Chain A
Amino acid sequence: MAVYKHNYSAYTGSITPPWKRVAAIARYAFLEAWSSKITIGLFVLSLLPFVLFLIGIYLANNPLARALINSQGPQTIAIDARYFAKVLSSQCWLGFVLASWIAPRLITFDLADNALPILLSHPVSRLGYVSGKFIALFGSLSVVTWVPCLLLFVYQGYSSPQPWAAANLRIAFGLFAGAVIWIAFISILCLALSSWVKWRVVATGIIFAAMFVPAGVGGIFSAVLRTRWGLLLNIPVMMSNIWQRLLGAPAPFNDRLSLPTGAIAVMLGLACFLFIAMLNARIRAREVVRG
C-alpha cells in the first residue's frame, strides 16, 4: 500500500502488546489535553503558589533574610507539617481547576463525535479506554500536585542547615499519598461526569457543582439535625482531614469539623463506586434500548 502506487497491501509486520494500546490512548489523550492554550495558562497559574512557597522556604533558611524578617518583628516562617499542609492544599485545589478543564476535553470530544464505536471496534476494552484517559489525567495532575510538593520538600531538605529531610520523611510520604488520593479521586469524578455531558463547558460547570453543591446540602443537613455527619458530603472538609492526618499537622478545624478516617474512606469509596458505575453505563460502543 505505497503512497505513490495507490493500491492496497496487507500488513504483515509485528503487533504491539495489549498494554501499548492503552498507552496509545493515554498518549493521545495527554497531547489532546495539553494542546489547549487554556491548559497551559492554568498550568502556569498553578505554579504561582509553588513559586511563593519556594520563596518562603528560601527566606526561612537564608540567615540574612531571617535577620531582616526578625528585625521587622518577632514572627518567623516555620517550615513544618503545617506549612506543607498549606502547600498540598493549594496545589491540590489548583489541580482540581485544571482537572475540571482537561477531563471534558478527554471524553466529551469522543462522545460528541460518536467516536466510541470506532475506538472500541479495535482490540481495546472499555476498561482499557477509561484507563488510558485516567492515566493521561492522572499524569497531567501529577505535574501540578505531588511533583512540585516533593520538589519543595527536597529543596527544604537541601537548604535547611540541620539534617531536616530524614527527620521529616513522614511529610514527604504525606505529600505524595495525600496528592495521589486526591488526584485519583478527582480524575474518576471528572471522567465520570464528563462522560454524561456532550458539551465541554457544561461538563466543567457540573464538575464544580458536584464538588460544592453536596457540601452545601451536607451543611444544611448538619445544621437541621445538629450532627456533624453532614460533613460526609463535604469533600473539601473530608480531604483536609485526610491531608492533615497524613502529614501529621495540627488540626486546622475545631472538633466539630473532624471526621473519623474510616468514615471518610468509606464515603470516598462509595463515591468512587458510583463514578465507576456511571462510566460503565456511559462508555459503550452502542446504546442499547431495552424493551
Chain B
Amino acid sequence: MGIIDLNELQVRFGNRVVLDGLTGELKGQAIGLLGPNGAGKSTLINTLLGFHLPAKGAARVFGLDTRRERAQICAGIGYMPENDSFIGNMSGVRFVRYMAELAGLPAATALERAHEALFYVGLGEVRYRKVSTYSLGMKQLIKMAQALAHGPRLLILDEPTNGLDPVARQRMIQLIKEIRKEGSIRLLISSHLLRDIDETCDEVLILKNGRIAALCNIEEERRSNRSFIELETVGATERFAVSIRSLGCECASFPGGRIKLVIPDNIETRDLYVIASEQGVQIRRMNQRRDSLEDIFLRAMDNDSGRAANGSLQAQL
C-alpha cells in the first residue's frame, strides 16, 4: 500500500471539474507534484488535507479515507502552504507552539519542540520576534518549522522555494534533503521548478488539466538503459522526424528545429546522419545524454489527452 492512494478521484467546483479520474499509488520517500498553473496540484493537496471533498472516487492517505478520517490524517501530516499563512501578531516560538498543540502535543512538549524546530530550520535567533516582522525567506522557514514541530509522518510542501533568493532556496533544498535522508518522514512536494523536484524527489506525479499526465519513479527512469539524443537541426525538420520514426525511434519535435529521440539498440547514430544527408537536413548539434526530469515533464505535457502512465513513458513520446 502506498502513502497516497488515488482511486478515480474527481473533484468539482460547481460545474467545473478540477481533478478528473486520478488513479495511482504514490509510494516514494519524496514525491514531486508537477504541472503547469491550473493543473490541479494545489487542489490535490487540499483534497488530501480534507479541505475539498471528492465528487467521485476516493483519496487515501496512510490507508485512511480523506472524506471520513480527516482528523487522523491531519494528525500525521505537516503542511506548508504556498501562500503566506501565519498569525503575524504572535512571536515565532509562540506560533509554532500553538500549531504543535493543535496537532495534539501536550503544552510543555509543544514548547520544547517549537524551540527545537525553530533552531533546526535556522530561525533560532529570531524566535522571539513577531512573525509579521520576518522576511519572506523567514516566513517560508517558519511555515516549515510549524509543519515539522509535531513530528509528522507525511510532510506536504506547496511551493517551498516560492519567492526565495538563490541562497535561501539552496538552504531550503538542503533542509528538504536532510529531512528526506533522516527517513522517518515522507515528503510530497509541489513545485513549478523542475530543478527543485529533480534535486529532492525520487518519484514524480505530473498533472495536466486535472488529469495524471505521468506518474513515474525518477530513479528508475534515469536508470533505464535508453539512448537519448537531442538534436538541433536546420531544414525540413518535420519530414526528417517522420523518417526517423520509420526507423523505429521514438521522437518528439520542438520549435527551433529541436528534436529529442530515443534510438533502439539496433540503430546507430550514423544512420541519423545518412537520413539527414538524404533529406538535405543539417544536424548542427547532437547531444547524447540520459533522461532528465525535464524530458519526462515535456513528454507528459506533449501528450494532449493527459493519461496515467506507470513506469515507462515510451508510449507517450
- Whether A118 pairs with B79 at a CB distance below 8 angstroms is yes
A288–B102 alpha-carbon span in the complex (Å): 25
From B98, B106, B184, give the contact of A13 (CB < 8 A): B106
- Whether B86 pairs with A115 at a CB distance below 8 angstroms is yes
> Which residues on B sit within 8 Å (CB–CB) of A32?
89
Chain B CB within 10 Å, residue with most, of A3, A121, A285: A121
Chain B CB within 10 Å, residue with most, of A3, A116, A123: A123
Map CB proximity to B onto A199-213 as digits: 1 under 8 Å, 0 otherwise.
Answer: 000000000000000
Taking beta carbons and an 8 Å cutoff, which residues of B are in contact with A?
Answer: 13-16, 46, 49, 51-52, 70-72, 74-75, 77, 79, 81, 83-89, 98-99, 101-107, 109, 113, 115-117, 119-120, 124, 131-132, 143, 146, 148, 150-151, 178-179, 182, 184-185
Excluding A12-B151, A117-B81, A284-B51, 4 further A-B contacts by CB distance (< 8 Å) are A7-B120, A25-B102, A118-B143, A290-B16
> Which residues on B sit within 8 Å (CB–CB) of A10?
151, 184-185
- Whether A122 pairs with B124 at a CB distance below 8 angstroms is no
Question: Known: A118-B146, A123-B103. Contact between A8 and B88, CB under 8 A?
Answer: no
> Which residues on B sit within 8 Å (CB–CB) of A6?
119-120
> Which residues on B sit within 8 Å (CB–CB) of A229?
none
> Which residues on A sit within 8 Å (CB–CB) of B16?
290-291
A114–B109 alpha-carbon span in the complex (Å): 26
- Whether B75 pairs with A15 at a CB distance below 8 angstroms is yes
CB proximity of B62 to chain A, nearest CB, Å:
13
Query: Could you count the A-B residue pairs with CB atoms below 8 Å apart for me: how many are there?
Result: 133
> Which residues on A sit within 8 Å (CB–CB) of B84?
113-114
Chain A CB within 10 Å, residue with most, of B70, B88, B99, B103: B103
A25–B102 alpha-carbon span in the complex (Å): 8
Interface size on A, residues (CB 8 A): 44
- Whether A13 pairs with B105 at a CB distance below 8 angstroms is yes
- Whether A24 pairs with B87 at a CB distance below 8 angstroms is no
Chain B CB within 10 Å, residue with most, of A25, A109, A117, A124: A117
> Which residues on A sit within 8 Å (CB–CB) of B14?
290-291
A155–B303 alpha-carbon span in the complex (Å): 81
From A9, A14, A114, A288, give the contact of B52 (CB < 8 A): A288
- Considering the complex, give the chain B residue whose CB is closest to the CB of A3: B119
CB proximity of B260 to chain A, nearest CB, Å:
36
- Whether A11 pairs with B117 at a CB distance below 8 angstroms is no
> Which residues on B sit within 8 Å (CB–CB) of A114?
83-85
A290–B52 alpha-carbon span in the complex (Å): 12
Chain A CB within 10 Å, residue with most, of B72, B99, B143: B99
A112–B131 alpha-carbon span in the complex (Å): 13
Question: Known: A2-B116, A24-B102, A28-B98. Contact between A109 and B143, CB under 8 A?
Answer: no
> Which residues on B sit within 8 Å (CB–CB) of A125?
70-71
- Whether A113 pairs with B87 at a CB distance below 8 angstroms is yes
- Whether B113 pairs with A290 at a CB distance below 8 angstroms is no
A window 73-115: CB within 8 A of B:
109-110, 112-115
A window 12-70: CB within 8 A of B:
12-16, 18, 20-21, 24-25, 28, 32
> Which residues on A sit within 8 Å (CB–CB) of B143?
118
> Which residues on B sit within 8 Å (CB–CB) of A16?
101, 104-106
The reply on A226 being an interface residue by CB < 8 A is no
List 23 interface pairs A-B (beta carbons < 8 Å), by A numbering.
A3-B116, A6-B120, A7-B120, A9-B151, A12-B151, A15-B105, A18-B71, A21-B104, A113-B89, A113-B131, A115-B85, A115-B87, A117-B83, A118-B85, A118-B146, A119-B99, A121-B77, A123-B71, A123-B75, A285-B46, A286-B51, A288-B13, A291-B14
A189–B16 alpha-carbon span in the complex (Å): 34
The reply on A225 being an interface residue by CB < 8 A is no
> Which residues on A sit within 8 Å (CB–CB) of B113?
1, 11
